[in-house]
């Protein structure tokens, strides 16, 4: 029972603290950062952002379609840098990005080892090539979502 309570607490903590708020900064009447909108993790948003091929799909299938189309996009657009191929290194990356209320993908961070700068840059470019999405919805409102996915590369 104690372990169950710890697991529930951990899951609750992750969900509670994973919602971020952005601050608005105005300099000379120019808004620099979006207003106080929440960024909801893709895993809990009611309706995932829709790739063009996913528009009109049932809400309960939106997550699955998003993940499938994301992997298709990466397979089609990601080009392995020559230096990574030549060095024959194994690389594990974690890509974090946001899809804003307008359906535009914005890279937050690419985490990986220092010797993998070229592959991190290629992954960043691949994410920026994502098409414009139909924005995500949560509780009937258009919202920003954040997503992270791993990429592992090993040339044997």
| Res 154: pLDDT | 79
Give the model confidence (pLDDT) of 94-146 as tens digits.
Answer: 999 999 999 999 999 999 988 889 999 999 999 999 999 999 999 999 999 99
**How big is the chain, counted in residues?**
156
| Res 88: pLDDT | 80
When pLDDT is averaged across residues 46-69 and rounded to a whole number, the result is 93
Task: List CB contacts of 57: < 8 A, sequence separation 6 or more.
Answer: 50, 65
DSSP code at position 114: G
**Which token pair is 90?**
């194994």
| Res 128: pLDDT | 96
Q: Which of 25-39, 53-67, 116-130 has the lowest mean pLDDT?
A: 25-39
97's enclosing H/E stretch is strand 90-99
Whole-prediction pTM value? 0.73
Which residue would you say has higher pLDDT here, 13 or 127? 127
Yes or no: say if 155 and 111 are a contact pair by the CB < 8 Å rule. Answer: no
Which residue would you say has higher pLDDT here, 10 or 132? 132
Q: Do strands 90-99 and 141-154 pair parallel, antiparallel, or not at all (unpaired)?
A: antiparallel
Radius of gyration of the chain (CA): 18
DSSP code at position 55: T
When pLDDT is averaged across residues 17-28 and rounded to a whole number, the result is 40
């Amino acid at each position: 029972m104690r372990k169950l309570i710890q697991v529930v607490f951990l899951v609750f903590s992750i969900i509670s603290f994973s919602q971020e708020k952005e601050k608005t900064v105005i300099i000379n009447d120019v808004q620099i950062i979006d207003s106080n909108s929440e960024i909801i993790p893709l895993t809990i948003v009611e309706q995932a952002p829709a790739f063009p091929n996913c528009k009109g799909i049932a809400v309960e299938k939106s997550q699955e379609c998003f993940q499938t189309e994301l992997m298709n996009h990466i397979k089609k657009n990601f080009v392995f840098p020559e230096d990574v191929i030549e060095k024959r290194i194994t690389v594990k990356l974690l890509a974090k990005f946001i899809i804003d209320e307008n359906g535009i993908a914005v890279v937050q961070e690419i985490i990986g080892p220092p010797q993998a700068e070229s592959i991190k840059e290629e992954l960043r470019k691949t994410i920026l090539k994502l098409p414009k999405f139909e924005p995500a919805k949560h509780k009937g409102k258009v919202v920003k979502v954040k997503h992270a996915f791993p990429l592992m590369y090993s040339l044997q």
